[in-house]
Amino acid sequence: MKEEKKLLKEDINFLEYPNWTLSRKKSVTTYNIKKDNGTYEVISPFGLPKHFDKIVVYFLLYKLCHSKASSYTLITSRYEIAKNIFGGNHFGKNVYDRIMRAIKRWKSIAINFEGLFYYGDGYTIRGFSVIDEYILRKDTGELIIKFSESYVKQLQETTFYKLIDFEQYKILHKASSARLYELLCKSFKARNEWAINIQSLAEKLTFEKRKNAKLYYPSDVLRYLKPGIKEINKKTDLAIKFEYNKKNGICLFKKAKKQSQYMPAKSSRLDKSKMLVNKKQAFLESFKVLSQEEQDRVKDAASRDQFLKYLTKEDQIVAYMAREKK
């Protein structure tokens, strides 16, 4: 039986204007964009949200939007969040701590906008928050999250939105892929081609400029852009063709038809379980025959991966080696 898609409603303004950043620096607490139609600013004293933080809030918004209760308060647990992001059933303290850091960042974030937020709405000065309050009860594991009423109302009532597939979004391991996916979902809402100057694109993607540089280096942008497009094409329903004109600096994205892929016959749950155990054992055996230098390299690379580092050491090795084999 085909699994139901986990779709959530995202305001197009928050796809156009980022509320998280690709920056790897812990000290980044503000991000600003100045455009003809206004200024946009994101502030957080605990550091701006990053890729993993956005995955967490997307799951929370999905759960809130599909809750039968008409409320801005969500009751969940760190276990439920981890299970929906990583899969599996066993998670360590480091996973739970990282989830709480994500929620802390969304609690602290402030978004300020001055200008034309919606066409036809006139010139306004607006302020947004995302989460107003959170409570973790360690004795029961219950996690209570109260979202900003104005923020949730905007998501519920806006006609200027795009549906995001949480399951597709969370498997984009590259942060640049995830941010580009958001932009493409917005840009392909009512058209099949999107042209944008590479400088403007880099700003929307929240790329960092080289030290003391006034403009982005196109080669730096393309270095992350092309692998991002490849991952999106491979893992999501989007199929993108990309062209870059060096003379005028224009990036052209074209929506293509997704080629159907062969789907093998479904095996029983027991068969799948046996296959997973066998595959895991095979990767572990492959790891054991590596030289000590290669084993150390795999361990180090897996532990630094923003997704794999929250798994057990053994599962880190298995997941990393499975990815390298592809």
CA nearest neighbour of 91 among 317, 309, 320:
309
* pLDDT of the residue at 120: 62
Which class in CATH covers the domain with range 1-170? mainly alpha
Architecture of domain 173-261: Orthogonal Bundle (1.10)
272 class by beta-carbon count within 10 Å (0-12 exposed, 13-18 middle, 19+ buried): exposed
Instruction: Say whether 173-261 and 1-170 share the same fold.
Output: yes
* pLDDT of the residue at 260: 58
* pLDDT of the residue at 311: 73
* pLDDT of the residue at 69: 58
Whether the per-residue pLDDT at 265 is higher than 50: the answer is no
Domain boundaries, the chain: 1-170, 173-261, 270-325
pTM of the model: 0.78
Q: How does 306-324 read in b/e, with b if 16+ C-beta sit within 10 Å?
A: ebbebbeeebbbbbbbeee
CA torsion, ordered 279, 168, 113, 109, to nearest 10 deg: -30
